[in-house]
Amino acid sequence: MKIGIAADHGGFELKEIIHPFLISLGYDVKDFGAFTMDKGDDYPDFVVPLSRAIASNEIERGIAICGSGVGASVAANKIIGIRAALINDHFSAHQGVEDDNLNILCLGGRVTGFMTAQELVQSFLNARFTGEERHLRRLEKVHQLEIK
């Protein structure tokens, strides 16, 4: 599975831990930046290219990190076909994929501990969309909102 990762200054430190962790698990990882710590950078500059890469099927899933995870989630969800959520618990990390076909996990670099982040990432990446009729029906309603 090809994974994308992106972070601004608020998530930079956590990204620098998660990126090699993903590689150690055998994932092919594309880093969308930031590549240096710059307190003046802006999360949309990194999260939007990640989101577009997922929407175009260049990569399968993504991890977006900003200080709280909120801004990354807001920016990611502006791209059609993206289903991003700020995740802080194990259940939501896998359930979001299983029921809602979540394709971007958003984390807060200033509020999520390193070990917790690794556990959330693994839960997110190991989960699979069930494709149940009720979930497909709901996602179609969301898709209709995007195209109107």
Give the C-alpha separation, 118 to 28, whole Å: 16
**Start-end of H helices in the chain:** 12-24, 44-55, 70-76, 90-100, 114-126, 133-147
**Minimal CA–CA distance to 69: which of 121, 141, 1, 128?**
121
**Minimal CA–CA distance to 6: which of 59, 43, 36, 39?**
43
Going by their DSSP bridges, the two strands 104-108 and 61-66 should be labelled as: parallel
Going by their DSSP bridges, the two strands 2-7 and 28-31 should be labelled as: parallel
Q: Which helix (H) or strand (E) holds 31?
A: strand 28-31
Give the C-alpha separation, 4 to 58, whole Å: 9
Hey, which residues are catalytic here? 66
